[in-house]
Amino acid sequence: MQFCDDCGSMMKKEDGVMVCAGCGATAEQEVETEAFISTEEQTDDELIESSEEANFEGKPTAKDVVCDACAHEEAWYTIKQTASADEPPTRFFKCKNCGKKWREYS
């Protein structure tokens, strides 16, 4: 992807020359890449548990919550970004005593 030096807009290729979509300026095409290159591999630690059967055991523990079902004061939790990036994340809990699951919005 190439951006215009004059206005910063994205440029597109037309007849072998890069043309700015914003101001119409032209430039030579920078180094052309044939394919995308990935330098990092995703590991299982980066995956977000999203199913109802998700295993919370082994996740961090919250001691500042109270289960509505059994009044136990300790639960496993995980955090997920369920809305747009400018919204706070959602914390999902699973009671360590009875297994009830619930969520809290920040």
Clarify whether 64 is annotated catalytic.
no
Annotated catalytic residue within 5, 30, 87, 104: 87
94 and 62 belong to one structural domain: yes
DSSP conformation class of 45:
G
Does a structural domain hold residue 91?
Answer: yes
Tell me if 28 sits within 8 A of 56, measured CB to CB.
no
**pLDDT at 90 exceeding the cut of 60:** yes
27 and 56 belong to one structural domain: no
Domain count, the chain: 2
101 and 56 belong to one structural domain: yes
64 and 94 belong to one structural domain: yes
Clarify whether 86 is annotated catalytic.
yes
45 pLDDT tier (thresholds 50, 70, 90): low
Tell me how far apart the alpha carbons of residues 7 and 20 are, in angstroms, rounded to a whole number: 8
The pLDDT tens digits for 49-70 are 555 666 776 677 878 889 999 9
Tell me how far apart the alpha carbons of residues 97 and 73 are, in angstroms, rounded to a whole number: 9
